[in-house]
Amino acid sequence: MIAISKITSRFFCLVSPFFLAVLLGCAEEIQPVSESVKRVRHSLIQEMEERGDQFIRAGRYRDAVLAYAKASNGLGATAEIYRKLAEAHALNQEMPEAVRVYEQAIAMKSDFPKARTELALLLTRLDRPEDARAQLDQAIRDRPDYAWAHMVLGLIHFRQGFYDEAIASHERAIAAVPNYAEAWFNLGEVYLKQNKYEHAEAAMRRAVGADSTVARFHNGLGRSYYLRREYEQAAKAFSHAVRIDSIFARARFNLGNSLLRMGEREEGRRQLGLYKELEEQESLITTLLNTLMTYPDSATVYHDLATVYSQRGQLSEAHARYLQAIQRDSTFAPSYHNLGNLYLRRGAFDQALALFERALRADSTYALAHLAMGNTLMLNKQFDRALKHFHSGLRYEPNNVTLQRNLSVARDIIQSARRTQ
């Protein structure tokens, strides 16, 4: 028998048992994966995908990224899972990663117009219009009747000043889906830009007729009247828009100007005052979103963005942004506190208390969290515990009037209860 050298012996110790068997010519035949194993793998992938879907609906975008990533790592992961992972990255402001994963999804399934169109929208946000157009052109070649791709291509043409091309793209979208409200609206926008007001009115009417629940469509219809000096008709359309969306700043502005033109000065000025407040908020939101493009991991920026959304009554959006702040800094007490207040407004006391406790674990000196904790405990009739938190809050903010008042109320309730015992 030929002696095996020390080097060869060391090599055999490092390789896998299967590879060693191959080298010695005695490997067993590889058995195919059983159907039961395939079913288990598919079930696990499906479970993680469904969990990701739930996280998306709840605004928990980082958790969605993690869930979809686990699903995509499994054998048998589909291009659709990669598309969802890319979408979650984009919602979580992870733009380069989103682009990369969209490209992976398309590599897995080249005829995938939905992924190409979503990627095109993302590339437009990243100021890459030519790359976006290339994706849309391919999506349309793959599926000529894919209305969404035609409409998005129309938007890109419009932004680049190619109005005839924009009209043609929107008309192709409408030819594919005749009641495509968004395409009718965008067609109307192009006509407004070309000063073709009657054409714009007709398109906007079709948009409103297809979906009367969207404030932008009514605002667009109002603009088609206003620019023709039909102020009463315009005011009706703008009023409808603000009834649907009370924080729609531009519709408030348009309504205010229409009313002034009609001689209704007091109400017109009031609407313009509301517009100014909303416009300041929208300007701040735009600034914060642009900041996130540069600093996507800033908990402070997410927190500030959430606070503005909360002030505007956009509570679902605020909830999602506070979660994003916490995901980036698990010790960021103000976001735990404000998120707890959102739950408190919904009457979810247990969830609110848990979040206030998290805030205090992150920063025990945070007086507002002590105040919120005390208020919630008062609602739960735990007056002694509430009293302790009001005391703690005043230790760190001795001049806080609300803490002083609530401390006094808690004392009075406790003393009254003792007298009746």
Alpha helices in 295-348 (DSSP H): 299-311, 315-328, 333-345
Q: Which residue has the tokens 């009739």?
A: 381
**Mean pLDDT lowest among 39-43, 46-50, 115-119, 198-202:** 39-43
pTM of the complete model beyond 0.85 = no
- pLDDT (tens digit per residue) in 23-57: 334 444 444 546 665 666 678 888 999 999 999 99
Amino acid code (one letter) for 102: Y
pLDDT surpasses 90 at 420: no
pLDDT surpasses 60 at 1: no
**Residues in contact with 199: Cβ distance below 8 Å, sequence separation at least 6, in sequence order:** 188, 191
pLDDT band at 122 (very low <50, low <70, confident <90, very high): very high
Thinking of the domain 40-109, which architecture would CATH place it in?
A: Alpha Horseshoe (1.25)
Q: Which residue has the tokens 């793998």?
A: 41
**Residues in contact with 87: Cβ distance below 8 Å, sequence separation at least 6, in sequence order:** 56, 98, 118
Q: Which of 116, 134, 69, 58 is nearest to 97 (CA)?
A: 69
The percent of the chain in helix, strand and coil, each rounded to the nearest 5, is 80, 0, 20
* Helix-helix angle 181-193:163-176, to 10 degrees: 160
Alpha helices in 92-196 (DSSP H): 95-108, 113-125, 129-142, 147-159, 163-176, 181-193
Residue ranges of the chain that CATH labels 1.25.40.10: 40-109, 332-420
3-state secondary structure of 29: coil
Amino acid code (one letter) for 324: Q
What's the distance, CA 405 to chain centroid? 38
pLDDT, position 45:
87
pLDDT surpasses 80 at 353: yes
Question: Is the CB of residue 363 less than 8 Å from the CB of residue 336?
Answer: no
Q: What is the CATH number of domain 332-420?
A: 1.25.40.10
